[in-house]
Amino acid sequence: MADQQNPQLSGFIVERMELGVFAVDSSFNIVLWNHFMHTHSGKSWESLKGTNLFASFPELPESWLKRKIEHVFALGNYAFTSWEQRAYLFRFKHNRPITGGVDAMLQNCTFLPLRDAKGKVELVVITLQDCTDNALIQQRLAEAITVSDEERRKQQELIVKLEDAKNQLYQSEKLASIGQLAAGVAHEINNPIGFVNSNLGTLERNVTDLMKLMAVFESKETELPKDTQRELSKIKKEIDFEYLKEDLAALISESKEGLSHVRRIVSDLKDFSRVDQSGWQIADLEKCIDTTLNVVSNEIRYKATVVKEYGHPPLVECVPGQINQVLMNLVVNASQAFPERGQITLRTGEEGMYVWIEVEDNGIGIPPENQQRIFEPFFTTKPVGTGTGLGLSVCYNIIRKHEGDLIVRSEVGKGTCFRILLPIFHGKMGESEEIEFANSAPQ
């Protein structure tokens, strides 16, 4: 075709273009070899003219290339191979310094049948296109896609972590508002308790006075007319006066006892939530344990015996309301670890600049594979509806915020011991107690 147009111009273009062009006859002898091929192979047209392609270039993939060229001769079809299938035909150096894993010119090749006047394929023209730049761009693009996939994966992980953190925050806010509610109710109950207590005192005094008066009446009873005596004795029998006299005092003293119990619960509830004194304070951790035990006493009474082994460590700078939450979670977890009745031991002590608290039970224990996971939000082995699996992750966050540590030691069938370590000083007195929830579980 080129011959029919302007052979000189076509020849010029083939010579000058940035494309390798060469042609072979059916015996694989070279009949065309352009400037690009000369430059990159180091062999000139003059030296190659009429020579066998495979004799001149033994490094070529002979059997594959022969088959490819023979097909084009036989079928007269155009053929193509890309660098992705076969990186290169000739091992040429790339024009520019090559970076990365690419050390040779990557080539796309086309195989064009050239027919004689009778339509028979006379020659096969082969072109080589340098694709190294494209390949490098593609490689970088693939790397960029991998990086962006990795980024997306990390973002996804972050979203999950954020979701977990949000849920923990809800949980801790829920606990805090339950505490506030309890403290509010406790405060409201305080007033009626006050006047009932004072009324009980007055009632006790009045009853004692009345009894004194009754004793005098009784001593003078025989002096009354017989009819009146009979009537009085009938009424005394009806109301069981002898029993009533004894019972009145007992009733009053039982009521006073009950009332003092209510007062203690109310004061424990207030202490436990510490709404009236939130934030960083100097606190006695043994008192924290005592109030917490009083608050959860109903939950643990029928499941465990509580043993206290207090070492009287120094006071600690902490957010007491939050330490109470931690203790409550640990004690409730311990009480839920007994198939039947068990023992919960609470110990305290001092170690260097730290105070420690241990909550130990002789329950079912935690298998080693779960010990890695118990601080993860939502990890629970309890039946649906029983545990949310947030208790320990909230505990861990609170202790981390206190720059302390929460360590678990457990053996299946023997029991579990959680050890809380809290630094004695923080220098945060009076600050508010915002807790951040991020990266909750220990690594």
Ligand X SMILES: Nc1ncnc2c1ncn2[C@@H]1O[C@H](COP(=O)(O)OP(=O)(O)OP(=O)(O)O)[C@@H](O)[C@H]1O
Binding site for Mg ion (CB under 5 A): 333, 391
Q: How far is the CB of 388 from Mg ion (least distance, A)?
A: 8
Closest to ligand X by CB, 2 vs 438, is 438
Contact 344, 304 (CB under 8 A): yes
> x/- contact string, 268-297, with ligand X (CB under 6 A)?
------------------------------
User: Out of 69, 72, 293, 390, which residue is the one contacting ligand X (CB under 6 A)?
Assistant: 390
366 binds, among ligand X, Mg ion, none (CB under 5 to 8 A by kind): ligand X
The helix (run of H) or strand (run of E) holding residue 161 is: helix 132-219
Contact 344, 312 (CB under 8 A): no
> Could you give the count of Cα atoms lying within 13 Å of 100 in the half-sphere of its Cβ?
13
Q: Which two tokens stand for residue 346?
A: 């609470």
Closest residue to Mg ion in the complex (CB): 391
2-10, 56-64, 207-215, 361-369 -> range binding ligand X (CB under 6 A):
361-369
The residues in 323-342 that bind ligand X, with binding defined as CB under 6 A, are 329, 333-334, 337
379 binds ligand X (CB under 6 A): yes
26 binds, among Mg ion, ligand X, none (CB under 5 to 8 A by kind): none
Closest to Mg ion by CB, 292 vs 333, is 333
Q: How many residues does the chain have?
A: 443
440 binds ligand X (CB under 6 A): no
79-87, 149-157, 228-236, 387-395 -> range binding ligand X (CB under 6 A):
387-395
The residues in 393-432 that bind ligand X, with binding defined as CB under 6 A, are 393, 416
User: Out of 284, 350, 380, 441, which residue is the one contacting ligand X (CB under 6 A)?
Assistant: 380
The CA-atom distances, in angstroms, between 116 and each of 2, 25, 28, 442 are 13, 12, 17, 79
> Could you give the count of Cα atoms lying within 13 Å of 174 in the half-sphere of its Cβ?
10
Among candidates 408, 388, 384, which has minimal Cα distance to 396?
408
Ramachandran region, residue 43 (left: φ > 0; alpha: ψ -120 to 50; beta: rest): beta
442 binds ligand X (CB under 6 A): no
416 binds, among Mg ion, ligand X, none (CB under 5 to 8 A by kind): ligand X
β-strands 304-309, 121-130 pairing: unpaired
Strand partners, 351: 354
| Number of residues engaging ligand X in binding (CB under 6 A) | 21
User: Out of 363, 398, 420, 440, which residue is the one contacting ligand X (CB under 6 A)?
Assistant: 363
The CA-atom distances, in angstroms, between 424 and each of 81, 285, 319, 346, 355 are 74, 11, 12, 19, 6
The helix (run of H) or strand (run of E) holding residue 117 is: none
Task: Give the integer Cα–Cα distance in Å for 409 and 416.
Answer: 6
Closest to ligand X by CB, 107 vs 333, is 333
Contact 389, 380 (CB under 8 A): yes
Closest to Mg ion by CB, 325 vs 333, is 333
- Interface residues with ligand X (CB under 6 A) are 329, 333-334, 337, 361, 363-364, 366, 374, 379-382, 387-393, 416
